[in-house]
């Protein structure tokens, strides 16, 4: 009879905490590449990357005082062009190369907003290479065999969470080769 006292509590718990099927409309587990939580750059609120499951993702390491910093323009351009089609860019500021990202998270966020009006998701400054690389970059490096050698390395992840390709700093984000690959992935071809 004691279970009768717990029955309403169990029902209430299920109502407040719905099953995984309703929380995840595609009813798929989060891809291992996205099974990480990082602090959002502007307010340091934790963000689980699983929220981007089902999207084509470009991961890029950034820096505010680099010869490639102007690539923020191209990144923002392709983000605006493809975001409504299921594309997202995840930016990770890093001070790993040439000490070109010395500022605090707040300073980096202000620079990105005021200089390039960056709207794509940016995360707190972290390491992207070597033994201290953040867990996402460790996985990207492991799967592609390519470690960032400088700022603005780019990695593409398909809608299923498969790490597809890496691109060096010289590849402009809005180049024909890059946009062709993004469009192919958006159509579900890898």
* Residue 40, phi then psi, degrees to nearest 5: -65, 140
* Residue 61, phi then psi, degrees to nearest 5: -90, 135
The DSSP H or E segment spanning 57 is strand 56-62
Closest CA to 45 of 122, 114, 111, 113: 122
Closest CA to 75 of 163, 1, 175, 7: 175
Tokens of 108: 């980096």
Specify burial of residue 116 (Cβ count, 10 A radius: 0-12, 13-18, 19+). middle
Closest CA to 29 of 176, 160, 171: 160
Specify burial of residue 64 (Cβ count, 10 A radius: 0-12, 13-18, 19+). buried
Which pairing describes strands 37-39 and 56-62: parallel, antiparallel, or unpaired?
Answer: unpaired
User: Is 50 part of the annotated catalytic residue set?
Assistant: no
Which residue among the candidates 30, 50, 66, 112 is catalytic per the annotation?
66
Supply the residues annotated as catalytic.
66
């Amino acid at each position: 009879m004691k279970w009768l006292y717990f029955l309403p509590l169990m029902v209430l718990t299920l109502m407040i905490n719905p099953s995984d099927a309703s929380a995840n409309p595609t009813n798929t587990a989060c891809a291992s590449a996205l099974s990480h939580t990082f602090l959002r750059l502007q307010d340091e609120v934790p963000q689980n990357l699983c929220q981007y499951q089902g999207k084509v993702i470009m991961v890029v390491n950034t820096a505010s005082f680099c010869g490639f910093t102007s690539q923020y323009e191209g990144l923002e351009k392709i983000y605006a062009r493809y975001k409504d089609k299921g594309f997202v860019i995840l930016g990770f500021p890093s001070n790993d190369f040439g000490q070109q990202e010395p500022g605090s998270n707040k300073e980096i966020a202000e620079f990105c907003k005021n200089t390039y009006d960056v709207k794509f998701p940016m995360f707190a400054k972290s390491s992207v290479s070597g033994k201290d690389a953040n867990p996402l970059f460790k996985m990207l490096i492991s799967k592609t065999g390519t470690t960032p050698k400088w700022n603005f390395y780019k990695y593409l992840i398909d809608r299923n969470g498969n790490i597809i390709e890496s691109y060096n700093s010289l590849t402009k984000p809005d180049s024909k080769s890059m946009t062709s690959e993004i469009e192919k992935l958006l159509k579900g071809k890898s």
